[in-house]
């Protein structure tokens, strides 16, 4: 009897035994290139089976994998390499290849048996990047033990079994993509990996592969809700769609459910602690990411004193669990978010008496675009490099499609067009970090300490946006009145058997 597929890519199916043999073969190649336990391997790859094989190969040898986004530009990769100091590189991206010797994933992988190193649960397994608010992205260190705990939490929260079928089109270099891949393989669920996001292709494979669990972030949810032919696809195999990375937009989720009959399971996590809360599979709600998953402790502390507060009181959410990261690189950044085993999420919200979590804001200033975090300081650093920029501040505003949109407030020292500044950021940073809007201002409000008052700028932009929308609504209303009056006006009466227009 043929072993069923564990991983599917295009028309190619990989059994569990084949993935193991390929991972062993690649591990042998890496070992011959000098990779040893405790070292780090930079991995910069597109969505492809070799990404999965490379991760497994690195772990076979007791080394850690450093995940680099294929969307990054050279400067971002240089920073990531400087922070993590990897000893080896694997991938298919020319940027990484140009910065250090890289084993290319296009090279044939010869199957074989590698000498597997016993796993040290306290050793680093993976480093993923998360942005802070005052500098460049930080590397989040997860050990084999913390990642394994996160996988257990995710499997149990989503009720995943070997009977499930999943597909992934989100970047595997992001914690959610990696978590989905590892959880599916550990659980024995069948996994389809896509080269890139294509909604019709995803819908086609839900129908063709009888996918049971679909993963979505805000842009995917919006695309589903607005798809003109959504009802033409048979989505009856889906148990639910998981909404993660950004807060749920109820109107979008309800539209999809009304059109397909498929419900949603909202969840909440972070790169630092991948699974924090999740809705129950029966009776899921859209106004909350759910309750803390078993194995995760959650509390709310006062924004003023840092002391725990009671049910329903708003404060900063803190969490602790065996799935918590080991720390950041640079290491000194860790002290700002970890204390007494508790991780400060930077999210503001409350927990009611029944344990339901409610998120209202973020005390941190990072901007969350789709599933990605954007550090304002990183974008500001690029803008400050333009000779026409005297000062600037970057912040996020709510956006129905992406969760948040990046906005840059700029004080000019010389004439410059907004498009030129947007293009500058796009040439230096990943596309999701480009400002959606550039607002030219006469000053950037700051405290005496020099700290930018981003909230003031955000409120100003939102107020101006609201006023513009109100003006447009009033104009549309007046135009409609005029049209109605013209429509209701009587035609000129006939004179001598003819109308005035005859």
Q: Which residues contact 265 (CB under 8 A, 6 or more apart)?
A: 158, 240, 241, 242, 243, 278, 279, 281, 284
Kindly report which listed range (191-200, 236-245, 454-463) carries the lowest average pLDDT score.
454-463
CATH 3.40.50.980 fits 159-262, yes or no: yes
Which one, of 40, 41, 88, 97, lies nearest residue 70 by Cα?
97
Which one, of 271, 258, 262, lies nearest residue 243 by Cα?
262
What CATH number belongs to 365-502?
3.30.300.30
Question: Does 159-262 match 365-502 in CATH topology?
Answer: no
pTM over 0.85: no
What gap in Å lies between CA 393 and CA 384, rounded to an integer? Answer: 10
For the cut 70, the answer to whether the pLDDT of residue 484 exceeds it is no
Q: Which residues contact 287 (CB under 8 A, 6 or more apart)?
A: 248, 250, 358
pLDDT, tens only, 111-133: 877 677 888 999 999 999 985 44
What CATH number belongs to 1-118?
3.40.50.980
Q: Return the domain boundaries, the chain.
A: 1-118, 159-262, 365-502
Q: What is the structure's pLDDT at 437? A: 92
Q: What is the structure's pLDDT at 161? A: 97
pLDDT, tens only, 145-185: 999 999 999 999 999 999 999 999 877 888 989 999 999 99
């Amino acid at each position: 009897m043929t072993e069923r597929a564990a991983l599917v890519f295009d028309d190619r199916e990989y059994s569990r035994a084949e993935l193991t043999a390929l991972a062993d073969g690649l591990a042998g190649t890496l070992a011959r290139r000098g990779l040893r336990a405790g070292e780090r391997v930079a991995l910069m790859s597109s969505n492809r089976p070799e990404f999965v094989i490379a991760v497994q190969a690195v772990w076979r040898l007791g080394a850690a994998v450093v995940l680099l986004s294929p969307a990054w530009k050279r400067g971002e990769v240089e920073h990531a390499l400087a922070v993590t100091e990897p000893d080896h590189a694997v991938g298919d991206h020319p940027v990484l290849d140009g910065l250090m010797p890289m084993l290319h994933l296009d090279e044939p992988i010869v199957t074989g048996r590698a000498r597997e190193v016993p796993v040290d649960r306290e050793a680093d397994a993976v480093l993923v990047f998360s942005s802070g608010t005052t500098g460049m992205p930080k590397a989040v260190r997860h050990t084999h033990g913390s990642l394994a705990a996160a996988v257990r939490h995710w499997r149990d929260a989503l009720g995943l079994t070997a009977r499930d079928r999943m597909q992934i089109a989100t970047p595997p270099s992001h914690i959610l993509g990696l978590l989905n891949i590892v959880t599916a393989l550990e659980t024995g669920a069948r996994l389809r990996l896509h080269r890139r996001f294509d909604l019709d292709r995803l819908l086609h494979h839900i129908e063709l592969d009888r996918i049971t669990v679909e993963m979505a972030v805000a842009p995917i949810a919006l695309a589903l809700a607005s798809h003109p032919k959504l009802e033409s696809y048979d989505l009856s195999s889906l148990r639910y769609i998981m909404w993660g990375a950004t807060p749920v937009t109820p109107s979008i989720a309800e539209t999809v459910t009304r059109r397909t009959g498929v419900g949603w399971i909202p969840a909440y996590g972070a790169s630092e602690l991948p699974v924090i809360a999740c809705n129950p599979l029966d009776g899921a709600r859209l106004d909350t990411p759910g309750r803390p998953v078993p194995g995760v402790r959650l509390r709310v502390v006062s924004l003023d004193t840092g002391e725990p507060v009671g049910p329903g009181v708003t404060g900063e959410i803190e969490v602790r669990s065996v799935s918590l990261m080991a720390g950041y690189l640079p290491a000194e950044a860790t002290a700002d978010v970890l204390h007494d085993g508790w991780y400060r999420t930077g999210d503001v919200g409350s927990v009611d008496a029944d344990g339901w979590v409610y998120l209202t804001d973020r005390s941190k200033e990072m901007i969350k675009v789709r599933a990605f975090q954007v550090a304002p300081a990183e974008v500001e650093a690029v803008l400050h490099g333009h000779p026409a920029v005297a000062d600037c501040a970057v912040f996020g505003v709510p956006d129905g499609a992406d969760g948040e949109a990046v906005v840059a407030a700029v004080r000019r020292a010389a004439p410059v067009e907004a498009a030129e500044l947007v293009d500058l950021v796009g040439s230096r940073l990943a596309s999701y970090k480009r400002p959606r809007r550039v607002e030219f201002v006469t000053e950037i409000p700051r405290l005496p300490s020099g700290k930018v008052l981003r909230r003031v700028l955000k409120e100003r932009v939102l107020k101006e946006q609201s006023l513009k929308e109100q003006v447009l609504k009033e104009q549309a209303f007046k135009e409609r009145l005029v049209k109605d009056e013209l429509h209701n006006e009587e035609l000129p009466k006939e004179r001598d058997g003819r109308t005035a227009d005859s």
